Amino acid sequence: MDMDKNALKSERRPRKTFDRKAWKKKHTQTVEDLKNGLLKEVDNYTQSPEKVVEMLDFMDKFHNYSSRNAMMIQMQRPGATAVGSFAKFKSMGYKVNRGEKGIKIFVPTKATVFYRKNKDGNKELANLKTATKDEKQKIEAGNIETYQKTFYKIGTVFDAPQTNMPKEKYPELYPNRHQDFNMKNPGQIDSLENGLRSVANDMKMPVITYDPFNADIRDKYKDTQNAKGYFNRATNEIVLNGYNTPTENVSVLAHELGHAQLHNSQKQEKGLPRELKEMQAELTSYLYCSHYGIDVKQETVDYIANWTSNGQKFNELPSGVKGQILTHVGSATKTLTNSTDKLLEKEQEKLGQIVKENFLDTPEHSQWYVQKEKMEQEVTDNETNGTNFKTELTALRKIEKSMTIDTVRNLDDAFNKTQ
């Protein structure tokens, strides 16, 4: 039996060692093939204006991907609807259908590199992970300089129809899909938007809602398409997508007003890279929305991660600069919340006056109030002699509470008349 085991062991194939050179050669060839195919596809799509428009429309549908990757998707799967990685579909609870061929895209990845001399004495770029013990010591001592470099590896995505995802769920993969964010106090939403519009008005920055069916607006402003809004520098106007939900309008307005406060020509942040400006504006929107109980956390995280390589571009900054950036975000947010809080206070005062005029000052309420006061006094006076008015008083309070609620429910019309 032992001899049989030894014989089997001797017959087993030796484990293959990883041939890095062969892998690198194959990877390089794959990249070249994809690039050549991409160039050919671009050439095909620039032969006529109609083809150019077709390509641009497709790229817009996948605008969260780079232009190059959008064209890669079109080249390999014309008419793709909504794409995601294997892991993305898995996280959403769906599976890629057996036998489906993935769509190849370029995935940027950052690495720390340094220069070392090869056998011929020439400098060549090397990944920090491959550094020898001696090289690591020299790097730590500052004798060898390191650099951040972006490389591109091949990634794979799948189109939604290649999975078991139901068609009605496809919009969950669409970039910038419209959504109504959770809000603790939905009744405040109009006041929040009005507060932000007030700030925009103070900055002489009109807010326009894009309507594709309004010829005047359609001819004057660029279509928002998938974007939820944008700032028109030529006219100093904020343009909102007409299909936005109310909470999206608040989020977008806070974002654009963050830009307006922090990134105009007079501000220190004007020299910041665009990705950090976008991070500041989105953080302003996040702080504003959080202040009033609108949950935009996931959208904020995704947006900032997309612009800053998962926060890496921010983390690379000196601590002092990071602190300054966040401090300015806080100041910009405070300007927005101060304006909104003033508006909310005025509306609360107005509502209080309406309640007073329509309920508290009425003879009906006065009668109940006098009766309740009298009974409360009787309860106090008679507690010592055993008389019990508490049950009757509790019933009276319930009736009064019910009457108050019914009355306040009818105050909307009265309040609207004051607008």
Find the mean pLDDT for residues 237-257: 90
Q: Which two tokens stand for residue 211?
A: 């309507």
Q: Tell me: do 160 and 248 sit in the same domain.
A: no
**Does residue 193 form part of some domain?**
yes
Q: Tell which wins on pLDDT, 182 or 332.
A: 332
Q: Tell me: do 126 and 209 sit in the same domain.
A: no
**Does residue 175 form part of some domain?**
no
**Does residue 356 form part of some domain?**
no
| pLDDT band (50, 70, 90) for residue 96 | very high
**Does residue 180 form part of some domain?**
no
Q: Tell me: do 87 and 190 sit in the same domain.
A: no
Provide the 8-state DSSP code for 187. Answer: G
| pLDDT band (50, 70, 90) for residue 11 | low
Q: Tell me: do 255 and 369 sit in the same domain.
A: no
Q: Tell me: do 91 and 139 sit in the same domain.
A: yes
| pLDDT band (50, 70, 90) for residue 417 | very low
Q: Is 233 helix (H, G, I), strand (E, B) or coil?
A: coil
Q: Does the pLDDT value for residue 346 go beyond 80?
A: yes
Distance of alpha carbon 289 from alpha carbon 251, whole angstroms: 7
Residue 338 backbone dihedrals phi, psi, to 5 degrees: -60, -45
- The secondary structure of 189-211 as a DSSP string is HHHHHHHHHHHHHHTT--EEEE-
CB 60 within 8 A of CB 48: no
Sequence letter at residue 348: Q
Q: Tell me: do 311 and 388 sit in the same domain.
A: no
Q: Tell which wins on pLDDT, 133 or 69.
A: 133
Distance of alpha carbon 248 from alpha carbon 193, whole angstroms: 10
| Lowest model confidence (mean pLDDT) among 54-58, 107-111, 225-229 | 54-58
Which residues, at least 6 apart from 393, have a Cβ–Cβ distance to it below 8 Å? Answer: 372, 375, 376, 379
Sequence letter at residue 178: H
Query: Which of these three, 296, 316, 344, is where a domain ends?
Result: 344
- The secondary structure of 257-306 as a DSSP string is HHHHHHSSTTSGGGGS-HHHHHHHHHHHHHHHHHHTTB--HHHHHHHHHH
**Does residue 238 form part of some domain?**
yes
Q: Tell me: do 99 and 218 sit in the same domain.
A: no
**Does residue 10 form part of some domain?**
no
Task: Tell which residue, 215, 209, 214, has the closest CA to residue 232.
Answer: 209
Residue 36: enclosing H or E segment and its boundaries? helix 20-44
Task: Tell which residue, 291, 286, 287, 285, has the closest CA to residue 254.
Answer: 285
Query: Which of these three, 142, 170, 198, is where a domain ends?
Result: 170
Q: Average per-residue pLDDT in the chain?
A: 74
Q: Which domain holds residue 82?
A: 20-170
Distance of alpha carbon 290 from alpha carbon 316, whole angstroms: 27
**Does residue 11 form part of some domain?**
no
Q: What percent of the chain has pLDDT over 90?
A: 8
Q: Give tens-digit pLDDT for 361-377.
A: 555 555 555 666 666 66
Q: Tell me: do 34 and 161 sit in the same domain.
A: yes
79 to 83, 93, 172: CA distances (angstroms):
11, 24, 18
**Does residue 177 form part of some domain?**
no
Domains: count for the chain: 3
Q: Tell which wins on pLDDT, 16 or 160.
A: 160
Q: Give tens-digit pLDDT for 264-317.
A: 756 555 578 888 888 889 889 988 988 888 888 888 877 777 777 766 777 777
- The secondary structure of 346-360 as a DSSP string is HHHHHHHHHHIIIII
Q: Is 121 helix (H, G, I), strand (E, B) or coil?
A: coil
Q: Tell me: do 52 and 145 sit in the same domain.
A: yes
Q: Tell me: do 158 and 229 sit in the same domain.
A: no
Q: Is 85 helix (H, G, I), strand (E, B) or coil?
A: strand
Q: Tell me: do 298 and 399 sit in the same domain.
A: no
Query: Which of these three, 344, 377, 394, is where a domain ends?
Result: 344
Q: Tell me: do 70 and 118 sit in the same domain.
A: yes
Residue 110 backbone dihedrals phi, psi, to 5 degrees: -95, 145
